Amino acid sequence: MSKLGPEYVGKLPPGRKDDLERALKDYRLAAVGGIVKGIEILGCSDRAASCEQDGVVNRIDSVPSLPLSGCVRSPCCGCSYVGKT
């Protein structure tokens, strides 16, 4: 298997960034209505999304963007946002 060049590291698959931004927008709207209180990052594999994010419920206004720095699956991060009540 060949290594990816630096131009690919940290990039998401096509269309994934739009999906993530749309999900965050929807969760922020749900937060205004009191339905969602925070957002958790759900890891994409057996390993947690990132050690420091494992089980953390982020405030709506301070959710880290994906892929997280140090992601073991970059550039094909499959992590997702999950609204928490």
Per-residue pLDDT reduced to its tens digit, 1-33:
344 445 554 566 777 778 888 888 999 999 999
pLDDT of residue 29: 92
Identity of the residue numbered 84: K
For the residues 60-82, what does the mean pLDDT come to?
A: 77
Q: What is the pLDDT of residues 34-43, one digit of tens each?
A: 999 999 888 7
Arithmetic mean of pLDDT over the chain: 75
Domain locations in the chain as residue ranges? 16-84
